[in-house]
Amino acid sequence: MALNWIFRGGVPAPHRKNTAEAETSVIDVPEKVIIPMVQHIGAPCTPIVKQGDTVKVGQKIGDSEAYVSAPVHSSVSGTVTKIEPMLFAGGNKVMSVEITTDGRQEVYEGVLPPEIRNRDDFLKAIRDSGLVGLGGAGFPTHVKLNPPKDKTIDCLIINGAECEPYITSDYREMIENPSGIIEGIRIVLDYLNIPKAIVGIENNKPKAINLLKQLAEGDKRISVQSLRSRYPQGAEKTLIYSLTGRKVPSGKLPADVGCIVLNVNTVSFIAYYVKTGMPLVQKRVTVDGPVVNRPQNVMVPIGTSLQALFDFCGGFKSTPYKVLMGGPMMGIAQYSLETSVIKNTNAILAFDKKEGDLPSESACIRCGRCVEACPMNLLPLELNRLVLANRTDELDRYHILDCIECGSCSYACPSKRHLVQSIRIGKDAVRRLQANKN
């Protein structure tokens, strides 16, 4: 096995993979789903259905002319009952389509395996499928798979690191559908003419590593590598570095070092879509956290409310204080259980006050633990100081825009300072300052 490059910094976040060994269950079709028109990075979709329309599973209900966008499909069969801005996982309101289900889950007639003869057909099919990066950010996959012509891609990287505590939805895919992952990798390698693929998996998942290694044996192009279990191993820049030794330059993309990174779920969906033509309408979600009665992975239609999901998992042991969409290191806190599961939701976690409360800050003692923890080699304590003093013009000198917001600094801080939180504010201020200058 090739040696990994070791990225600096990071933190030994606890694993807490409580749901790792249980089979994924399938939720009963909820009474209604709320499907937002923006579930990706890029232009929002416009609804193409009207109130009162009947829709079926896999039917397109929203699309956009823009290139950087991904269409949205109905995850259920039923009737469109409302089209208006509704509460979104980001905390804002987003144009959404509410569908009241009929429970029959009839499949839309237009759902047919795509005809793919060449690269262009393939990219079009990926766009039609509504696929976005399922690992977290939700960037439209067809854009990712089509880097600028001057960039030669020589390595497809498959992210199975899953370094966030609690989350096991990628792990379950690797255990339950490993052949789908390998199949998807082959499809991407073939159509995009990429010579090799590396699957990176943290070494706390030996079963998944072995399974995928066995399946990849026949194909010389695909290698499976065990990675050190250290947060944020699965962040794009640290993952590429760990597997190839290449450093994505500041402000650049993986394609600039010849890589495309796809999550294991993303790549296995590609295989599924090519075979069935069923767009991205359901998602495996890890439901966990100390106040959840029956933590488990659940396959849910996109648009299912958090409330319905928690109900399916036996409700709460005690009143939840904080609910997260995503992992505890980078997840987004939800203020209502009305929000719905979207394409890139990989976990829903519920915490009590003890674990969910924001610790109060004390003075920075300059111990340097944040500096040690920063995988991007930044000085979080200095950034924090400058942001709090409103010295926006000095932030660039400390490379603030290179922050990947992994939260390692805040995690490591003994004074419980809200480091990455302030850095987010600083990044925003710097971007606005730069926009004003131009």
Partner 1 sequence: MENRLFVCSSPHLRDNATTQRLMLDVIIALLPATAAGIIFFGLRAALVIAVTVAASVLTEYLMRKGLKREQTISDLSAAVTGLLLALNFPPSIPLWIAIVGAVVAIALIKQLFGGLGQNFMNPALGARVILVVAWAKHMTAWTEPLVDAIASATPLSLLKSADGGYTYSYLDMFIGKIPGCIGETSALAILLGFLYLLIRKVISWHIPVIYTGTVAVLTWILGPDGIFTGDPLYHVLAGGLLLGAVFMATDYVTSPMTRKGQIIYALGCGVLTTLFRLYGNMPEGVSFAIVLMNVVTPLIDRHTIPVAFGGEKRVGQHN
- Calpha distance 240→235 (Å, rounded): 8
**Helix, strand, coil: what percent of the chain each, to 5?**
30, 20, 50
**C-beta closer to partner 1: residue 106 or 405:** 405
Using rule CB under 8 A, residue 369 touches partner 1: yes
Among 418, 426, 427, 430, binds partner 1 (CB under 8 A): 418
Nearest approach, Cβ of residue 367 and partner 1 (Å): 4
**C-beta closer to partner 1: residue 177 or 344:** 344
Near partner 1 by CB under 8 A, which window of 6-14, 216-224, 279-287, 290-298?
6-14
Token reading at 332: 């987004």
Q: Looking only at residues 250 through 309 of this chain, which bind partner 1 when binding is defined by CB under 8 A?
A: 250, 252
Using rule CB under 8 A, residue 36 touches partner 1: no
Among 83, 86, 216, 248, binds partner 1 (CB under 8 A): 248
Q: Looking only at residues 62 through 101 of this chain, which bind partner 1 when binding is defined by CB under 8 A?
A: 91
Residue 21, C-beta contacts closer than 8 angstroms, at least 6 positions apart: none
Among 291, 341, 410, 427, binds partner 1 (CB under 8 A): 410
- Calpha distance 83→92 (Å, rounded): 16
User: How many residues sit close enough to partner 1 to count as binding (CB under 8 A)?
Assistant: 72
Q: Looking only at residues 376 through 405 of this chain, which bind partner 1 when binding is defined by CB under 8 A?
A: 376-379, 381-382, 396-399, 402, 405
- Calpha distance 104→308 (Å, rounded): 18
Near partner 1 by CB under 8 A, which window of 19-27, 106-114, 195-203, 249-257?
249-257
Closest CA to 364 of 409, 394, 426, 397: 409
Near partner 1 by CB under 8 A, which window of 3-11, 110-118, 175-183, 220-228?
3-11
Q: What are the helix (H) ranges across 177-205?
A: 178-192
Neighbours of 16 (CB within 10 A): 18
Q: Looking only at residues 151 through 210 of this chain, which bind partner 1 when binding is defined by CB under 8 A?
A: 165
Nearest approach, Cβ of residue 14 and partner 1 (Å): 8
* Bridge partners, 334 (sequence order): 323
Contact 197, 125 (CB under 8 A): no
Enclosing H/E stretch for 434: helix 419-437
- Calpha distance 171→265 (Å, rounded): 9
**C-beta closer to partner 1: residue 106 or 372:** 372
Neighbours of 283 (CB within 10 A): 23
Residues 308-337, one symbol each (x = binds partner 1 by CB under 8 A, - = not), give -----------xxxxxx-x-xxxxxxxxxx
